[in-house]
Amino acid sequence: MGLTGLEIFKHLPKTNCKECGFPTCLAFAMALANAKISLDACPYVSDEAKEALSSAAAPPIRLVKVGTGDKVIEMGDETEIFRHDKRFNHPTAVAIRVKDDEDVGAKVDTINNLVFERVGQQYEVEMVALVNASGDAGKFKAAAETVASKTDKNVLLMAEDTAAMEAALGVLAERKPLLYAATKDNFEKMTELAKEKGCALVVKGDNLSDAAELVDKVVALGHKELVIDTGSRETSKVLADMTQIRRQALKKVRSLGYPTIALTTEEDPREELMQAGVYMSKYTGVLVMNNDKKEHLLPLLSWRSNLFTDPQKPAQVEPGMHVIGEATETSPVYCTTNFSLTFYLVEGEVSSTRIPSYIISVDTGGLSVLTSYADNRFIAETITKALKDCDAESKVNHKKIVIPGAVAVLKGKLEEESGWEVIVGPREAAGIGKFAKTNFA
Amino acid sequence: MAVDILKEKYRGQVREVVLGATKDEGGTRSHTIKVGGEKALPFLHFEGEIPNRPVVAMEIWDMVPDEWPESLKEYFKDVYNDPGAWAKKCVDEYGADMVAVRFKSADPDLNDTSADECAATLKKVLEAVSVPLIVYGCGKAEKDNTIMGPIGEAGAGENLLLGVAEQENYKSVASAAMANKHSVIAQSPIDINIAKQLNILIAEMSTPLLDRIVIDPTIAALGYGIEYCYSIMERARFGALQGDKMLAMPMIGNICHEVWSKKEAYLPADEEPGWGDQAERSPAWEAVTAMALLQGGINLLIMRHPEAVKMVKNNIDDLMKDNSY
């Protein structure tokens, strides 16, 4: 269904003005054909051309935005089934449910507090899902006021009663919340509200086909900022629906070309965590859950951070000095690259020696030992620089550094360059245990 | 619009491997366990048959696991001096589908336990439980090469799943499997080409072994490079469905071996207050690692924490429900 680059090129101004960021109109056309950029990037395209191109050149899954300013959450605009083909663009947004008939303030405080520090990264929950559990518009509005005053997180407003939705929007519309949900019974009024306030809207069906039909009806009313809920709630069924939506959208089935939302149903927090993990793994754009336990959200958000990394870029750890155990000024100093897999292997082996140590990860741009050696990123100069950058001399009372056996050849040059004595370690991380026993025990 | 359901048409399927042997088959197990055999991507029942559910094995050691955190050891404190009783507890109380025996004490740097002693321990475990068993050496190849033969003999006919054959060192395990009708774990270092190559090497030793190989593509813990393993598994699974028979073996992951050396699993809450309660966090770390790999296509998981096992088995129950349209 998509147009080729050449077909798109015919509609462009052909001035090669470069304002789109591409060197030529043809290059821009090629990028459009691959859905890598939007037509809006061309300042001079005519309205007729826009009309002709917009539907064909639009990304297969619409990019939908929730929130404003630097809090905007983008969802959709995905192009892949498998992450190894190309990066998944937008990490699943996690929303924690708050019911309007419970202590809204206390619950929002808990959600605000769901911020984690791990491996030099910060993870957090980005949405509050405010549920109209009371069925009362006044209560929903009051709860929305509490949310507005307590947090600057994005909001998912969950009410099928349009009067309640309107009341809460009276408080929160400026935040551009995501509205849940348009159903077959309320979609006309709900769509009108969403359009009027410029908010994205969840379309909720009774099943996959039903959801697609309702999407068409809402689009016919002139609103395209949509998110799909197929209404399925069984883990295995949701997995099937999410997979269908992703596959069909990528084949340009327009009625399914939107991001998705998944709602957990398991009551036991542990079971809910597992269910949430499945939905996150398989394509949901927004995940709505009850669980607000730190010990459960830490693994879930860590998985998100792993899953949405770019498979074409090697994962890296922070360059610098890493402390293993209660290291002191007499502890051994190892060095390796900052490619995460290499580093974690070395870290694991060093920590299982039970000898407190330091590991200096040298910034090799995430390349492994031999590759970065070949690329001049893991050599005497860079290791010396790393020693200086982390001020290793002030941390230990010796000047001895262990280098990977695979780059034993660096010994002479590194000793000269750094003034440190170089001990050649084992070729493989697996040999560190024995090595440490011989040298440091 | 009404939606036409898209079903991928695959040429291939994952090989089905049978583990364990009953009396009729020359062993003493009460039942066998089948892994693999699927004709669809993980849990997509709507497009192809998934005949066998993923299997959860629990790991036991032949020595007291001093390095395990207290919160985990607590579950086994009454049995970890006795591998038979330990195995039995895993099966009877914690619902393990299989037991994985790790001959940790054979490590020359630990007890340097002899091959005969290992063989005797295996016999005890075989008597104590009737589920099929997985066997791992101490992890040091030189020593493992000397114990796998006698262990394989001690379990002759039981169709144990023997670990691990690696590209540089596969012959002793493969021979032990050939000689006494066992199956083999073929481990490759997060590299799909080596995984294939190793299967070919093993098949050159014995063609019938092809149907008794389980691939360990090498897994990592959540937060420590798991995404590489996840993608390798997805690629291997997709490859198998597209007809690559040398990649079509079921996959195993030693989840616990990776998870329990990680801070998130063992650090008490007072050292990382921001990470929440450790008693709950550590099984969750193991369970979420397993959850992710299940979505990647793993067939056999080796785990330690009873609560994590429960979480994963419940998750598998939910995922095995038919989702045909």
Residue-level pLDDT at B287: 98
The tens digit of pLDDT for each residue in A341-386 reads 889 889 888 988 889 999 999 999 888 898 899 989 999 999 999 9
A235 and chain B in contact, CB less than 8 A:
yes
**Does the pLDDT value for residue B27 go beyond 80?**
yes
Q: How far apart are CA B81 and CA A43, in angstroms?
A: 75
Give yes or no for residue B31 having a pLDDT over 90. Answer: yes
In angstroms, the Cα distances linking B266 to B155, B255, B259, B284, B309 are 35, 15, 9, 12, 17
Q: For chain B, first and last CA: distance in Å?
A: 16
Residue B276 CB burial class (10 angstroms; 0-12, 13-18, ≥19): buried
Output the pLDDT for position A102. Answer: 96
Residue A2 has a pLDDT of 61
pLDDT tens digits along B88-132: 999 999 999 999 999 999 999 899 999 999 999 999 999 999 999
Q: Which residue has the tokens 């002139």?
A: A222
| CB spacing of B3 vs A216 below 8 angstroms | no
Share of chain A above pLDDT 70, in %: 99
Contact B169, B182 (CB under 8 A): no
Domains and CATH numbers, chain A: 5-57 (1.10.15.40), 64-307 (3.20.20.20), 320-439 (3.40.50.11600)
pLDDT digits (tens, 9 = 90+) for A139-149: 999 999 999 99
Strands A64-66 and B161-166: unpaired
Q: Is the pLDDT at A241 greater than 60, yes or no?
A: yes
| The pLDDT of residue B312 is above 90 | yes
Distance from CA of B33 to the nearest CA of A (A): 23
- Please name the residue of chain A whose CA is at the shortest distance from the CA of residue B314: A271
Whether residue B283 contacts residue B314, with contact meaning beta carbons closer than 8 Å, is answered with: no
CA dihedral B62→B68→B70→B75, nearest 10 degrees, is -50
- Nearest to B224, CA basis, from A346, A377, A115: A346
Average pLDDT score over residue span B134-142: 94
- Interface contact flag, B291 A296, Cβ < 8 Å: no
In this prediction, residue A428 carries a pLDDT of 85
- Tally Cβ neighbours within 10 Å of residue B21: 22
CB-based contacts of A73-81 (< 8 A; 24+ apart in sequence):
A73/A126, A73/A127, A73/A154, A75/A227, A75/A259, A75/A285, A75/A286, A76/A258, A76/A259, A76/A285, A78/A246, A78/A259, A78/A283, A79/A35, A79/A250, A80/A250, A81/A246, A81/A247, A81/A250
- The whole-number pLDDT of residue A57 equals 64
Q: Report the C-alpha dihedral over residues A356, A362, A363, A365, rounded to 10 degrees.
A: -100
Half-sphere exposure for A129 (CA within 13 Å, toward CB): 23
Q: What is the mean pLDDT of residues A425-431?
A: 88
Q: Which residues between 75 and 104 in chain A have a beta carbon less than 8 angstroms from any beta carbon of chain B? A: 82-84
How sure is the predictor about A208, in pLDDT bands with cuts at 50, 70 and 90?
very high
A415 three-state secondary structure = helix
Local confidence band at A46 (pLDDT 50, 70, 90 cut-offs): confident
Distance CA A106, CA A293 (A): 14
Given CATH 3.20.20.70, say whether it is the number of domain B16-319. Answer: no
Domain boundaries, chain B: 16-319
The answer to whether the beta carbons of residues B154 and B122 sit under 8 Å apart is yes
CA distance A1 to B36: 37
Record: contact B230-A83, CB cut-off 8 A: yes
Measure the CA–CA gap between B115 and B30, rounded to whole angstroms.
27
Structure tokens at A182: 């348009």
What was the pLDDT predicted at A55? Answer: 67
* Token code pair at residue B182: 């066992």
Of A194, A185, A190, A134, nearest in space to A163 by CA: A190
Q: Which of A283, A288, A280 is nearest to A305 (CA)?
A: A280
With beta carbons under 8 A apart, name residues in chain B contacting A216. Answer: 1
Query: ipTM score here?
Result: 0.97
Q: What confidence score (pLDDT) does residue A1 get? A: 41
Rounded mean pLDDT of B35-59? 98
Higher-pLDDT residue of A434 and A143 is A143
Q: How far is CA B201 from the centre of its chain?
A: 21
Whats the size of chain B, residue-wise?
325
A119 touches chain B (CB under 8 A): yes
DSSP letter at B251 equals: B
**CA A181 distance to own-chain centroid:** 24
Among candidates A254, A251, A253, A75, which has minimal Cα distance to A178?
A75
Cα–Cα distances in angstroms (integers) from residue A37 to residues A41, A63, B34, in the given order = 7, 11, 48
Interchain pair A208, B325: CB under 8 A? yes
What's the whole-number mean pLDDT along residues A124-141? Answer: 97
Q: What are the phi and psi torsion angles at A398 (to 5°)?
A: -125, 165
- Residue recorded with tokens 């099928």: A160
What chain B residue is nearest to A433 in terms of C-alpha separation?
Answer: B109
Q: Report the DSSP beta bridge partners of residue A128.
A: A96, A155
Residue pair A155/A178 in contact by the 8 Å Cβ criterion? yes
Q: Mean pLDDT throughout A318-347?
A: 92
Confidence of residue A5 (pLDDT cuts 50, 70, 90): confident
DSSP A35: T
Contact present, B12 and B240 (Cβ < 8 Å): yes
What share of chain A in percent tops pLDDT 90? Answer: 78
CA B17 to each of CA B208, B239, B284: distance values in angstroms, whole numbers, following the listed order = 12, 18, 29
Q: Which amino acid is at A86?
A: K
Measure the CA–CA gap between B164 and A226, rounded to whole angstroms.
50
User: In the numeric block, which tokens belong to residue A423?
Assistant: 């001990």
A153 contacts A134 by C-beta, under 8 angstroms: no
What letter would DSSP give residue A37?
A: S
Q: What would the mean pLDDT of B284-290 be, rounded to a whole number?
A: 98
Gap from B321 CA to chain A (nearest CA, Å):
6
pLDDT of residue A35: 73
Q: Which residues pair with B55 in a beta bridge?
A: B300
Say whether pLDDT at A203 is over 70: yes
Q: Provide the Cα torsion A388, A390, A391, A396; round to 10°.
A: -120
User: Measuring CA to CA, which residue among A64, A59, A143 is closest to residue A107?
Assistant: A143
- What is the Cα–Cα distance from B117 to A337, expressed in whole angstroms? 42
For residue A280, which residues of chain B lie inside 8 Å, CB to CB?
none
Mean pLDDT of chain A: 93
Entry field: residues in chain A: 441
CA distance A432 to chain B (A): 13
Provide the pLDDT for residue A316.
86
What pLDDT score does A207 carry?
Answer: 96
pLDDT of residue A63: 95
A44-58, A238-252, A400-414, B210-224: least confidently modelled range? A44-58
B235/A85 Cα distance (integer angstroms):
10
